[in-house]
Amino acid sequence: MEFYNNTTTHINHINGTSYTSEQYKVILKWISFVIFLGIITFNTLVIVLLLSRKKKTRMGFFVTNLAISDLCLGLFYVFPELVFNKFGVPWNTYVCYIVYAFLSQWAVYVSIYAIVVMSIDRLYVIVRPLSAASKGQKYRFGLASIAWITGAVLAVQYAVHIKMWKIFCYHSIPYMEAMLYIDATIIIIIPVIVIVICYTGIIITIRRREKRGFIPANSSDT
């Protein structure tokens, strides 16, 4: 009798744990859905508001570029992860080999390096205000395109190693462990170093001008 009670308790404990795990998955699934809606809604709103302004600024241009890259992140990375991994929809062949193979990783890289590009431009505006003011659209589009081109180049390695088995889509990279360190360097370490250098330069430049009693007026193009 005691053995029966212990066994029953053990089974109930297992069932309770399983049920809790399923609840966690459901909650995580819908949180991911809300995050996806937020990414799409707010970035679309930012893009529409900035593009509808009559007076265009360089800062507005780079913020729009960042919003577009984040919108792509939501569409090409978050959405497939949500539909196929969280909601359990079987992978489609075309989505696997086109979206997940290349576009999803491309969107991740572009979203990160769009911030880096914007930081570099901010440093240039503060350190060389007159030179920055003389730069036109070619400079802006050229600088912004660096993020998109860099992302495309870095994403190629994932597109080459894409695999699909039955209903599963995944990357099969022989040097996966090394790839994790490479990705950590590309996605985290390098961007953080560049951004820190840029904003350190901005702070130092502003403080020097404050000491000299020279603070340039805000330019309408910044």
In contact, 151 and 106? CB cutoff 8 Å = yes
**What sign does the CA torsion over 80, 83, 84, 89 have?**
negative
Q: Read off the tokens for 39.
A: 């990414």
- pLDDT (tens, 9 = 90+) of the chain, 222 residues, equals 443 344 444 444 444 445 577 788 788 888 889 999 999 999 999 999 999 988 888 899 999 999 999 999 999 999 988 888 888 888 888 888 888 889 999 999 999 999 999 999 999 999 988 888 888 888 999 999 999 999 999 999 888 888 888 778 888 888 888 888 999 999 999 999 999 999 999 999 999 888 877 655 454 455
* Dihedral angle over CA of 177, 83, 90, 170, nearest 10: -10
In contact, 113 and 73? CB cutoff 8 Å = no
Q: Can you list the domains of the chain with their CATH numbers?
A: 2-211 (1.20.1070.10)
In contact, 113 and 188? CB cutoff 8 Å = no
